[in-house]
Structure 1
Amino acid sequence: MMQPVRRAAYRLYARRLRAQLAHTSLPRHVAMVMDGNRRWARQMGFDDPGLGHRYGAEHIHEVLGWCAELGIRHVSLFVASVDNMRKRASDEVANLMRMIEDVVAEPLLRPANPWQLHLAGRADVLPDSTRHALKLAEDATRERATDFHLTVAIGYDGREEIVNAVRALLEDEARAGATLDDVAQRLTADAIAARLYTGGQPDPDLVIRTSGERRMSGFLLWQAAYSELYFCDVYWPGFRKIDFLRALRSYSARGRRFGA
């Protein structure tokens, strides 16, 4: 718990950071790799590192609140990769999936929640209960009159996503009677992008990864081709508003060149 003097200093610093962003260009779409849940739990002295997943899942809604407050209307979160689902211990995966069902999916159903849910990844690698909970939330929020869009990448692999998009394009063309030569002549990046899990949504302007790791881990490989990257040394459950504001400040200070 923060002491009163530290709390006051924190609020003052947060206001100063917010003021610095007042007349800058903020990202339209922020993507986040929420890394370090278990390491945070160990750092905090918990006997069960898996508790970090609960704190991390609960923290999602706080971070979404910061985004909404700043007018950031597109957020993408990397929750679990295909490798996470296959290679992690079964009890850890089961615990994470319960957190997704109870702490992420269920609150999105509440009428006061402004976010419309989109899913990215392979539903077939998820437990039935998790798949059902996320699909229910996606369907329930689809017609929500809102400009706030949350994409949850779960059971996700960026290379597999691109392969699936190309496969879908080829199947569509084959059904239309096109030859392989026809497809090759007409093939465009836009045609592939339209068949990604995120088809129709804007690419991320800023990708934030917590925990100090400096890699993408297969997250939004196509979509993040021109994104600004920001690596934060704190673990996800300990990711504070001032850490988020610092990331936005770093983004606003960069001159985006889109391929240069």
Structure 2
Amino acid sequence: MTELKDFSRLPRHVAIIMDGNNRWAKARNLPSVAGHKAGVEAVRAVVDGCARYGVEALTLFAFSSENWRRPPGEVSGLMELFMLALKREVKKLHKNNIRLRLIGERSRFSESLQGKIAEAEALTRGNTGLTLNIAANYGGQWDIAQAAETLARRVQAGQLRPEEITPEALEAELSTAGQPLPDLCIRTGGEQRISNFLLWQFAYAELYFSPVYWPDFDRGELEKAFAAFSGRQRRFGKTSEQIEAEETHA
């Protein structure tokens, strides 16, 4: 087993916008689906790296609610690849004590894909290692809206008073409830935006933008992101002096 590097601090929850599959394929005169297939290898490397470093949760932005606008052939290929990945990878995840969860509005997927997702979640539900969240047909605005709707229904049913709708109450209804908030967001492919991903959860996340296309994002690139995170001072509204004093007395 490769010796793990010693970073002064590591993120508890890593969220990744896996961008650049299409451009990777285009640069090689390959169809877009080839880029997505190559991206599966990067997923394996990053899942393994996060598990080895003791990261508690990893959330991968696999398919946004806006991605349905892509060419029908590409969308169809992505759905087939998603199904194939579930069939091939879930037993490996289970063997490695990784819990798989899908976050997003899943009713738009085919019944067979929904069934395979449910089987994968059921198989890995009791695992206690890394939690792997696959964000599919997911949007940050949708996540906040569905949480707000849940609270509104509780108010309507007389189970909750309006003044009890607090940030904590809403956060408890988000798709990532029960997990630490993401403290590191990685986006590959050179773009510098978060594209409607985990909007509420990213309130204090550190952002790391990599120029590397997703299929080329390997263990070494992940470690670069961890090194950058490790070197940042996270203040949460406090001053540098306050943080340094707290660290001195810790």
Q: Comparing 67-76 with 169-178, which one deviates more in the overlay?
A: 169-178
Which residue in the other structure is 1:235 paired with?
A: 213
Q: TM-score, normalised by structure 2?
A: 0.89
Indicate if the aligned counterparts of 1:82 and 1:125 stay in contact, CA closer than 8 A.
Answer: no
Cα distance between partner residues in 2 of 1:177 and 1:168: 11
Alignment partner of 1:97 is 2:75: no
Q: Mapping of 1:19-98 within 5 angstroms?
A: 19=5, 22-46=6-30, 48-85=31-68, 87-98=69-80
Structure 1 unaligned spans of 5+? 1-13
Letter in 1 for 2:34: L
Deviation at 1:177, TM superposition (A): 5.5
Alignment partner of 1:187 is 2:170: no
Deviations 1:62-116 (A, max 9, x none): 210111111112100000111102x111111111111111124541234423210
Structure 1 residues 188, 246: closer, same or farther in 2, change over 3 A?
same
Cα distance between partner residues in 2 of 1:177 and 1:199: 20
Cα distance between partner residues in 2 of 1:215 and 1:201: 23
Indicate if the aligned counterparts of 1:116 and 1:142 stay in contact, CA closer than 8 A.
Answer: yes
Percent identical pairs in the alignment equals: 37
Deviation at 1:130, TM superposition (A): 2.2
Letter in 2 for 1:257: R
Which residue in the other structure is 1:219 paired with?
A: 197
RMSD over aligned Cα, in angstroms?
Answer: 1.8
Q: Matched residue of 1:78: which SS?
A: strand
Deviation at 1:124, TM superposition (A): 1.4
Structure 1 residues 23, 215: closer, same or farther in 2, change over 3 A?
closer
Query: Number of aligned pairs?
Result: 236
Q: Matched residue of 2:89: which SS?
A: helix
Alignment partner of 1:107 is 2:85: no
Which residue in the other structure is 2:140 paired with?
A: 158
Deviation at 1:53, TM superposition (A): 0.8
Cα distance between partner residues in 1 of 2:218 and 2:40: 14
Which residue in the other structure is 1:127 paired with?
A: 110
Deviations 1:7-41 (A, max 9, x none): xxxxxxx97xx54xx15111111110011111111
Structure 1 residues 136, 106: closer, same or farther in 2, change over 3 A?
farther
Structure 2 unaligned spans of 5+? 239-250
Which residue in the other structure is 1:4 paired with?
A: none
Letter in 1 for 2:171: A
Indicate if the aligned counterparts of 2:18 and 2:187 stay in contact, CA closer than 8 A.
Answer: yes
Q: 1:139 aligns with which of 119, 122, 125?
A: 122
Runs of 4 or more consecutive aligned structure 1 residues displaced over 2 Å after TM superposition: 127-130
Alignment partner of 1:168 is 2:156: no
Q: TM-score, normalised by structure 1?
A: 0.85
Indicate if the aligned counterparts of 1:57 and 1:100 stay in contact, CA closer than 8 A.
Answer: no
Q: Comparing 106-115 with 166-175, which one deviates more in the overlay?
A: 106-115
Letter in 1 for 2:78: L
Deviation at 1:45, TM superposition (A): 3.5
Structure 1 residues 32, 105: closer, same or farther in 2, change over 3 A?
farther
Q: Comparing 106-115 with 130-139, which one deviates more in the overlay?
A: 106-115
